[in-house]
Amino acid sequence: MNLEEIKQCAPGEIKACKDAKALEAIRVKYLGRKGELTAALRTLKDLSQPKRRSVGQRANKLKNELELLLEGRLREFARESSQYKETIDITAPGKRVRLGHLHPLTKIGREAKQIFSSMGFAVMDGPEIETEYYNFDALNIPPNHPARDLWDTFWLRQNETKNQRPKTKNTERLLLRTHTSPVQIRYMETHEPPFQIIVPGRVFRYEATDASHEINFYQIEGLMVSKTVSLANFKYVVESFFKQLFNRAVNIRLRPSYFPFVEPGIEVDVSCTRCSGWGCSICKQTGWLEVMGAGMVHPHVFEAAHYNPRDWQGFAFGMGLDRIAMLKYNIPDIRLFYSGDLRFIRQF
C-alpha cells in the first residue's frame, strides 16, 4: 500500500473496530514492525533527496494522525465500559448529612436568658474592653486591691513609649474586663430605678489554666434595684432560676462572704444536682455546689452611679456560666469548651 491508500483505508477501519483487541490488530497492520506504514517509511531510502524529504514528512504526519485515532478509539471503549459499571445501587444506605448545632455554652446562655426574661429581667450587655474605673474604682475596689495586680488582669498597652509612664489618667487605663459587674455602673448611669437586668458576657483573667480555670470564660451578672428589693427577693429569684435550669427541685444556701461592691456579701450554694445533697464526688461529699457570688448593692456603688443610697436598695449577683454548664452536662474540664474538639462538641 502506498501512503495515499493507507490514508484512505486506515481511519475507516479504526472506526469500525468493536473492541480493544480488534483495534490492536489494526495498529499492528499499519504501525507494527511489518506494518504497511512502516514498510512505506522503509522505502524512503530509495528515493531521491528532495522527494525523500516531502514523502518523509507526509508519512510521519500520517503516522501521528493514526496514533491519535487509535488512542481516541481506545478511550471510547474505556468510557463505554465504565458507564456500564456505574449503575446505581438502590439498596446502598444513604450518606448521613451532619447538621451543625449550638455550642453547649451558647445553649446554656440562651436557656438562662430565657428563664430570667420570663421573670421580667431585661437582657443587657457592655464592652469587653473596659476602663480601670468601671472595672474596679466604681465598684468600690480600692487601687491597692490584689485583683488589680498585673498577674490577675490583662492590661492593654496604650500611649506608652519606652521610659515613659502612660499619659492617660490612671482610671482611664484600658483592660480586658475581669467580670461583668462594670455593666452595673454603666447601666445605672443611664437608667432610673426600679429595674431588673441580667448581663451575660465574656470575661478575662490572666491566670494559669487548669480543669476549672480558663483565661476567658462567661458570666451572667444580675442587678435588681427598687425602694424595697431585699435578699428574700434574691433568694426566690435564684431558686426559681436553678429549678428551671436544672429541671428539678433544688435547695439554696446563702453563706456570708466578701465582695467590695456588696454589703452584706454572700456566696450562694445549690444542693448538689447529682446526689441531691447526700454527698458524691461532684460536691466533694458536702452535698452543696458553689454557684455564685451576690449581695446587697454597696452604697459606694450607688454613689458612683449618682444614685442616693438612702433612696434605693437592691441585690446584685454574678455567676460563671461555664461552671453551671459543667454541672448541668457533667463536664469535668472547663478547657474542653474552648478546645474546638468536635468529638466533644458533638455530644450536646
Q: What are the residues binding ligand DAH (CB under 6 A)?
A: 179, 181, 221, 259, 262, 293-295, 316-318
Maximum separation of any 2 CA atoms in the chain, in Å: 125
The nearer residue to ligand DAH, 27 or 179, going by C-beta atoms, is 179
CB of 181 to ligand DAH, least distance (A): 4
**At which residue does the C-alpha cell 427541685 appear?**
249
> Which of the residues are catalytic?
151, 179, 205, 219, 262, 316
The nearer residue to ligand DAH, 30 or 307, going by C-beta atoms, is 307
Backbone angles phi, psi at 66, to 5 degrees: -65, -40
CB of 205 to ligand DAH, least distance (A): 9
Angle between the 49-85 and 20-31 helix axes, to the nearest 10 degrees? 170
CB of 261 to ligand DAH, least distance (A): 6
Find, among 34, 36, 40, the residue nearest to 56 by Cα. 40
Q: Rounded to 10 degrees, what is the CA torsion of 67, 73, 76, 78?
A: -70
Give the C-alpha separation, 123 to 221, whole Å.
10
Q: Give me the DSSP letters along 279-298.
A: --TTTTTSSEEEEEEEEEEP
Give the C-alpha separation, 217 to 207, whole Å.
12
CB of 323 to ligand DAH, least distance (A): 11
The nearer residue to ligand DAH, 69 or 262, going by C-beta atoms, is 262
Give the C-alpha separation, 185 to 189, whole Å.
6
The nearer residue to ligand DAH, 126 or 295, going by C-beta atoms, is 295
The nearer residue to ligand DAH, 29 or 235, going by C-beta atoms, is 235
For ligand DAH, the nearest residue by Cβ is: 318
Q: State the burial class of residue 3 (Cβ atoms within 10 Å of its Cβ: 0-12, 13-18, 19+).
A: middle
The nearer residue to ligand DAH, 312 or 317, going by C-beta atoms, is 317
Q: State the burial class of residue 127 (Cβ atoms within 10 Å of its Cβ: 0-12, 13-18, 19+).
A: middle
Find, among 70, 307, 323, the residue nearest to 219 by Cα. 323
CB of 294 to ligand DAH, least distance (A): 5
CB of 293 to ligand DAH, least distance (A): 3
